[in-house]
């Protein structure tokens, strides 16, 4: 089982020792085209599950990808994380294919796939990120609704291996949002 | 592309024509200043939007600064990292700053890897940063108040004196402990919470 060490946004907001979130071997959205979502650019601020405030800086890259620099702030701030991502819109769903790169300046040994993070913006400009629920993804794989495999045991990681066409068709459907049960965190734009 | 941590490092490096043989504070040891912890915003005279400077205290008496410079004009947004050590000498607080990363890679600046000595003051939510003033340090060296060298050099068509404080750590720290030591420094940047 792949483990991640630190508690920070996106993949890293999981508690210490938690499983790595479900990943896809292909990014979500390649058949529709991975396009930078300009809404995300700039600086956002939120509070993580430890109650620590953090900043997220989204940097657009010339190759159409995003670099996301996430830094805890305030007293007892400990961690900073860098994530690379691509974004795509499928149907009504906005996805960020995220991959953890560094934590506190050290390279992460993250799986080679990407985490399909769902994000939503409400009318007040609050941005909510959701991770796919591991058990729900495992159930979908077991039921044959999406191709993939899971490691043995309750803590085994789940990997969705569907080809790009099948993957995008699945994640474009309205039902795909059912994979995402609980908000990971919310942020609001500050700059 | 604009160098990373544009406001801070470039301003410090370009302003700091004074080198030191040893970082400040080696004779007394370093201790992180918790007053620096957290997020500061600021810019140099050359930068338009303010940058973000997130100061994280490490367990080894160093601090990491994760900086973010927003996009501006033709310059894309950029990010980078600095390592700081801090020391209090008498009434004066100093930091040694070294650039450690730029946009996920090694730093590209001429000053990369060099330790830049700075004086700082915190007044409420305001952080003022000062760099050694070339002329004032030159005068101090010539007056024999601190050991150092002044070497004429050329950068392109420009004639520049390379000023180096060669005093060892103990003498440098004793000198900078004096109440009048801040007179050798000149303001370079102000940040706020």
- Report residue A190 as tokens: 């500050």
pLDDT at A75: 81
DSSP states of B75-120 = BPPEEEEEEEEEEEETTEEEEEEEEEEETTB---STTTT--EEEEE
Nearest chain A residue to B59 by CA: give it.
A78
Kindly identify which residue of chain B lies nearest to residue A102, measuring between CA atoms. Answer: B104
Chain B: residue whose CA lies nearest to A104: B64
Burial of B177: CB neighbours in 10 Å, binned 0-12, 13-18, 19+: middle
**Does the pLDDT at position A16 exceed 70?**
no
pLDDT score for A98? 97
Instruction: List, in sequence order, every residue forming a beta bridge with B132; answer none if it has no partner.
Output: B185
Q: Does the distance separating the beta carbons of B81 and A73 come in below 8 Å?
A: no
Domains and CATH numbers, chain B: 6-136+174-192 (2.40.128)
pLDDT at B6 over 50: no
Edge-to-edge strand list for the sheet holding A23-24: A23-24, A158-160, A148-150
* Cβ burial, residue A16 (10 Å; 0-12/13-18/19+): exposed
**pLDDT of amino acid B114:** 79
- Could you tell me the CA-to-CA distances from A51 to A88, A120, B38, B114 in Å, in that order? 30, 22, 15, 37
Contact residues on chain A for B105, CB-CB shorter than 8 A: none
Q: Which residues of chain A have a CB within 8 Å of the CB of B71?
A: 41, 60
- Residues in chain A whose Cβ is within 8 Å of chain B: 41-43, 55, 57, 59-60, 62, 67, 69, 71-75, 77-80, 82, 101-102, 104-105, 191
Element (H, E) at B170: helix B169-177
What pTM value is reported for the model?
A: 0.88
What mean pLDDT, rounded, does chain B reach? 87
Contacts of B123 (CB under 8 A, 6+ apart): none
Residue of B nearest to A71 (CA): B54
According to the model, what pLDDT value does residue A14 have? 36
Tokens of B22: 């040893």
What residues in A contact B34, CB-CB < 8 Å? 75
A147 vs A16, more confident:
A147
The dihedral formed by the CA atoms of A10, A16, A18 and A24, expressed in degrees to the nearest 10? 30
Q: What is the pLDDT of residue B72?
A: 87
**Residue B4 pLDDT > 50:** no
Size of interface A-B (CB pairs under 8 A): 67
Note whether B56 contacts A67, CB cutoff 8 Å.
Answer: no
Q: What is the pLDDT of residues A75-132, one digit of tens each?
A: 877 899 999 999 999 999 999 999 999 999 999 887 889 999 999 999 999 999 999 9
> Has residue A9 got a pLDDT over 70?
no
Would you tell me which residues 20-79 of chain B have a C-beta closer than 8 angstroms to some C-beta of chain A? 34, 37-39, 49, 52, 54, 56-57, 64, 66, 68, 70-71, 76-79
Q: What tens digit of pLDDT does each residue of B123-174 get?
A: 989 999 999 999 999 999 999 999 999 998 777 777 778 899 999 999 999 9
- pLDDT of B47 > 80? The answer is no
Residue B8 φ/ψ, nearest 5 degrees:
-75, -70
What pLDDT was estimated at residue A48?
83
Contacts with A80 from chain B: Cβ below 8 Å: 54, 56, 64, 66
Q: Answer whether B104 touches A (CB < 8 Å).
A: yes
3-state secondary structure of A47: strand
């Amino acid at each position: 089982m792949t483990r991640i060490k630190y508690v920070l946004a996106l993949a890293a907001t999981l508690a210490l020792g938690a499983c790595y979130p479900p990943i896809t071997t292909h990014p979500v959205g390649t058949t529709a085209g991975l396009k930078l979502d300009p809404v995300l650019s700039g600086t956002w601020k939120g509070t993580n599950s430890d109650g620590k405030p953090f900043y997220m800086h989204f940097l657009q890259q010339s190759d159409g990808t995003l670099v996301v620099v996430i830094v805890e702030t305030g007293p007892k701030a400990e961690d900073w994380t860098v994530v690379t991502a691509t974004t795509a819109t499928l149907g009504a769903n906005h996805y960020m294919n995220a991959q953890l790169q560094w934590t506190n300046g050290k390279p992460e040994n993250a799986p080679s796939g990407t985490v399909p993070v769902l994000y939503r913006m409400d009318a007040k400009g609050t941005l909510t990120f959701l991770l796919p629920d591991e058990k729900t993804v495992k159930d979908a794989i077991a039921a044959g609704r999406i191709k993939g495999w899971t490691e043995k045991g309750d803590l085994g990681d789940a990997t969705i291996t569907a080809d790009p066409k099948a993957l995008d068709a699945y994640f474009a459907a309205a039902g795909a949002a059912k994979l995402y049960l609980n908000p990971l965190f919310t942020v609001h734009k500050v700059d | 592309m604009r160098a990373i941590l544009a406001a801070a490092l470039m301003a410090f490096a370009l302003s700091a024509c004074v080198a030191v043989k040893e970082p400040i504070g080696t004779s007394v040891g370093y201790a992180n200043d918790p007053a620096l912890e957290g997020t500061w915003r600021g810019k140099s005279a050359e930068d338009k939007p303010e940058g973000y400077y997130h100061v994280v205290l490490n367990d080894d008496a160093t601090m990491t600064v994760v900086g973010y410079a927003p996009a501006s004009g033709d310059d894309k947004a950029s990010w980078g990292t600095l390592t700081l050590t801090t020391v209090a000498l008498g009434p004066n607080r100093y930091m040694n700053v070294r650039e450690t990363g730029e946009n996920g890679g090694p730093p590209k600046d001429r000053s990369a890897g060099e330790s830049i000595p700075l004086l700082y003051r915190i007044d409420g939510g305001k952080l003022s940063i000062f760099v050694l003033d070339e002329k004032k340090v030159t005068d101090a060296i010539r007056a024999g108040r601190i050991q150092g060298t002044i070497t004429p050099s050329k950068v392109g068509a420009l004639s520049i004196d390379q000023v180096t404080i060669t005093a060892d750590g103990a003498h440098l720290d004793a000198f900078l402990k004096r109440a009048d030591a801040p007179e050798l420094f000149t303001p370079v940047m102000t940040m706020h919470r």
